[in-house]
Structures are given as C-alpha cells and as structure tokens.
Amino acid sequence: MVHESFQTVKGQINWDHPMYRLYEKAKRNGRWNPADIDFSQDKEDYNRLHLEERISILPLISSFSAGEEAVTLDILPMIHVMARLGWLEDTMFLTTFLHDEAKHTEMFSRWQQAVGVFDIDLSVFHSDSYKRIFYEALPESMERLYTDDSPEAIIRAATVYNMIVEGVLAESGYYSFRQIFKKAGLFPGILQGIDYLNMDEGRHIQFGIYTIQRLVVGHDDRFRLFHEYMDELWEHAFGVVNYLINLAEEQQKLATAPTILEFHPDMMRDYAVKQFEIRKSKIDRVKKYDSLSELEAALGS
Ligand SMILES: [Fe+2]
Ligand SMILES: [Fe+2]
C-alpha cells in the first residue's frame, strides 16, 4: 500500500473528532503504573484464606489473566485496519488502547506473582464457552481485519472485542471482584488495579460503540448483522459467567470451613444480562439518524 495523501499537510487533526477527544482523555487519565501498586496486603490476605477459599477465587483470576493477555495480543489488526483506512484520529487513540491492555496484563501477572500463585495451570478453569470466545471468536474476527477492511468485518470484530469481551465479560468481572472482595475487606491492591482498569475499559468500550455506530448508521442490513452476532455470542458469554458462578457455588457447598467470601449468583447473572442489553441499546440509539453526517453533527465532530 502506498500513501496518496496526508491529513496534517492539507489541514490538521480533527480536534473535535470523538476519537481524538478520547485520545486526549487517555493521555490524561491513563497514567497509572501497575508496578506502583502495593500488593503486600493482598499477599497477607491470600495467605490467610484457607485452601478452598483460594481455589474458589482462582477461576476469576484465570479468566481475567488470559482475557487481558488475549486482548493485548489481538488488538493489532484493529490498529492496522484503521491505519490502512487513513483514520488518523482513531489510530492515534488506539496507540493508547494497546498500552492500556499491556498494563492490564501486567497487573494480573504481578498480582499472581506477589501473592504466590505458582505451579498451577489456571487454564483448567477455562470452560468451553470461554474457549469459544477467547481462543477462537476473538482472534478469528480480529485477524480477519488484516485482509478485510469492509464495514461488516470491522463491525464483527468490534462486537466480539468491545461489546462482548469488554462490555459484558470484563464489566461483569469487575462487579464480581467488588462484590466478593470489597465486602470481605480483602485484596486492596487488586481492587485499586480494578478501579484503574475499569476507567480504561470505559474508553475502550466507547471506542467500540462509536466504531459500530458510525458503520451501522443508515444501514439496516448492518444493524441486523450487529444484533445477530451479539445474539450468537451471547450464548457463550453467558456460558462464561454461568460456569464461573456454578463453580463458586459448588465450591461453597463442598467447603468444610466457614468462609468470608460471599457470592450472589442471581445478582451476578442479572448484571451480565443488563450489560448485554445496555450495549445493544447504545448502538440502537443511532437508529434515529439517517446518515453518518447526521450522527457526526449530533456528536459535534
Ligand atoms: Fe483490559
Ligand atoms: Fe480493554
């Protein structure tokens, strides 16, 4: 591919572009360092838990660790396709996105090392649903962007990456972390990390929403494609959540000692369902516009 022109010599960066504004936000708010988080209390807390309690939290840790690693490794084709299309502001924002995901991966790895999760292959906690999403659907739909820059391919990639993995699974995971650990007064270090992650993911989800919105606006067939793919992935996404909840419930039934860890299965399931519905409704919001220029005018870009 050769360049035919450059945006910044014919004009300037579009400072009002939603993705440029997000890039500014990322520079301001994304300046935390996982290496600065103190996990010493987390280590003490972890050592105080009895074996069954430790086992009951590892599936959640395992899902997040591999999940953050997957999104770090799989974001490159999205950057590649936006750059190929010459979408400068989006590409600039995505430079912060990849850096964020690398820090998230680092954070979970540092925590495991700090508390002493050694010599356990945590992939035993990856269910078939988890594998369908993180081992297959995510890399497949992302990698396709190397050779396919069609709106349909970008919509599919952003749907699995930003709407399902980040918008439903990561958001539901933060909720569980807070429900279980905050209430039990455990793991202040990782909870601080989760607050940072949550803020970063807010920007990532906004990127996904905008990307899908700009491509579906005025195109009923693309709206349909988005909804169909969401519904197809939902079965597996809910499978991931359900598996983790069932595992925790079983563990509690088998427990031989009282536990300070509280799981609320129904609240967790309801939360995941709600996230799914919110993501869909955000995309549906642009149904009131007939074209991209109408949407852009509404966004002030
Ligand atoms: Fe992340
Ligand atoms: Fe993310």
Residues within 5 A (CB) of ion ligand 2: 166, 201, 204
Q: Give the distance (Å) from ligand 1 centre to CA of residue 96.
A: 12
What is the per-residue pLDDT for 264? 85
H-helix or E-strand containing 115? helix 88-115
Q: Give the distance (Å) from ligand 1 centre to CA of residue 135.
A: 16
What is the per-residue pLDDT for 154? 98
Q: Who contacts 285 (Cβ-Cβ below 8 Å, separation ≥6)?
A: 213
Q: Give the distance (Å) from ligand 1 centre to CA of residue 172.
A: 13
Do residues 67 and 171 lie in contact, with contact meaning Cβ atoms separated by under 8 Å?
no
Q: Give the distance (Å) from ligand 2 centre to CA of residue 5.
A: 31
What is the per-residue pLDDT for 36? 98
How far is 150 from 160, CA to CA, in rounded Å?
Answer: 16
Q: Give the distance (Å) from ligand 2 centre to CA of residue 201.
A: 5
Q: Give the distance (Å) from ligand 2 centre to CA of residue 177.
A: 17
Q: Which domains does the chain have, with CATH numbers?
A: 7-299 (1.10.620.20)
Specify the amino acid at residue 147: T
What is the per-residue pLDDT for 96? 98
What is the per-residue pLDDT for 77? 98
Do residues 163 and 230 lie in contact, with contact meaning Cβ atoms separated by under 8 Å?
yes
| Closest ligand to the CA of 202 | 2
Q: Give the distance (Å) from ligand 2 centre to CA of residue 253.
A: 34
How far is 45 from 34, CA to CA, in rounded Å?
Answer: 19
The size of the chain, in residues, is 301
DSSP 16: T
Given a cut of 50, the residues of the chain with pLDDT beneath it are: none
